Amino acid sequence: MADSNVTKTEKTDPSGRLSAVVTATDGIHVVSLSGEIDHSTGDTLRQALAFPDTPRPRVIADMRQVAFMDSSGINILITAHRTLSEAGGWLRLAGTTTPVMRTITIVGLDTVIDCHDTLTQALNT
94: Cα within 13 Å, side-chain hemisphere: 19
User: Does this model's pTM top 0.85?
Assistant: yes
* Ramachandran region, residue 49 (left: φ > 0; alpha: ψ -120 to 50; beta: rest): alpha
Q: Which residues of the chain have pLDDT under 70?
A: 1-16
The one-letter amino acid code at 104 reads I
Question: What's the confidence (pLDDT) of residue 102?
Answer: 96
